[in-house]
Copies of this chain bind each other. A is one copy, B any other.
Amino acid sequence: MKGASEVLDPGLAPEGHRKIDWAARHSPVLNRVRDRYLKDGTFEGLGVGVALPIEAKTAYLTVVLAEAGARVAVASPGPFFVQDDVAAALAERGVAVYASSRNPPEEADRPLERVLDFALDGREAVLIDDRAGLGRLAHTTRRNLLPRVRGASEETTSGVAKFRAMEAEGALEFPAIAANDARCKYLFDNRYGTGQSTLTALMHSTNQMVGGKRVVVLGYGWCGKGIARYAAGLGARVFVCEVDPVRGLEAYADGFDVLPALEAAELGEVFVTATGSRDVLREEHFERMRDGAILANAGGVDVEIDVAGLRDASSEVREVRRNVEEFSVSGGRRLYLVGRGMVVNLTAGDGHPVEIMDLTFSVQALCARRLAREHRSMHLGVHLLPEEIDEEVARIKLQTVGMSVDSLTPEQERFLTTWRE
């Protein structure tokens, strides 16, 4: 798709190929899913529109789909999630890529629209979506293409919330699968993937110690749980802010302090947001923070930290290490923002570990396949991946690591389904 693609510098392709090869080699589950399920012609000639950060693992998913016969177009939900070498390599592997790290952020919708235009150009397509970006455009600026969309599979918690909001309004015009809500997705990707890669990005970017640090985790959903757990595993003292009291109680039983964000603001040395909400850290929090506090966002939306407000409140902003900006605020205090307030494991790292994305993208490939084959019988709402597909992915993964589970005996099956003794 060299002709169709728009990338920053095609000359970067060799390094991109090397990265994609590494991902391919470490994706045994997706490779087995491909061999077992994707070669049945389902994707032959079908459009696939993809919105995902452009790095090696997402690239490999699109390559697998293209090799299965699909006409794949891909863009990033924003320019900060683009590795230009990978984009260049992808263009050489038969995928239409619209992605450059230099694209203006305010025009983030443009490449997504290009994806829709390509994928749905005279053919039907399924969408693999991130934060409902493609879905939103298909229902607004590209309504003309909407009839040819067989469905969308959504990657993120916040995107699923958007699709559910559309469904609640009666606005959703194709079936959507909450790929995010597959157990093989959120138990691993959201929790341990986010947990490990967020901490790696923070440690790598700041060269600071985790042990003994007061780390404030805002949001104790799956992402927050993973961050808190690994931070504690590295010796941090963890504080949790939540709006859901049961989750708050869970954090308490896990050994963490649970307190309002305004109080946490005065205590924390590191703050990580993972709520899916907006302005979770805002002026009233910045005002209370200690000199030297470190801020990062690990959640699915870019406005969890009010970066614009922070900038307004600062007398000076400068980059003091790669991916670390220093904001000089009132009282001579300096706050440090890692990764621009966008998902830090992508803007200041290589994203989730490859084994995690191998699981996630196996789920995504099977969601896309399901939509492609069964969209006609699916109602116009948000669907879960059927349990047996979830289990199949887990079973393959366990095989690849040399582990396995038992089966119920007939006596046990009977025991579990009868109530008379």
B-contacting residues of A (Cβ < 8 Å)?
Answer: 18-19, 21-22, 25-26, 56, 132, 136, 140, 161-163, 165-166, 168-169, 171, 183-184, 187-188, 192-193, 196-197, 200, 203-204, 207-212, 230, 232-237, 241-246, 248-250, 252-261, 276-280, 292, 320-321, 349-351, 353-356, 390-391, 394-395, 397-398, 401, 403-409, 411-412, 415-421
Contacts and interface: CB of A to CB of B under 8 A. Distances in A.
Contact of A203 (B233, B292, B353, B408): B353
A132 B196 contact: no
Contact of A187 (B136, B246, B419): B246
A165 B209 contact: no
A352 B196 CA distance: 19
Contacts of A395: 245
A128 B187 CA distance: 33
7 contacts: A165-B418, A241-B405, A243-B405, A244-B405, A258-B398, A261-B406, A278-B412
Contacts of A278: 411-412, 415
A257 B397 CA distance: 14
A405 B255 contact: no
A420 B192 CA distance: 30
B354 A417 contact: no
Contacts of A418: 165
B212 A196 contact: no
A350 to B, nearest CB: 5
A233 B161 CA distance: 32
B321 A252 contact: no
Nearest to A220: B405
Nearest to A418: B165
A409 to B, nearest CB: 7
Nearest to A208: B353
Contact of A277 (B140, B252, B349, B415): B415
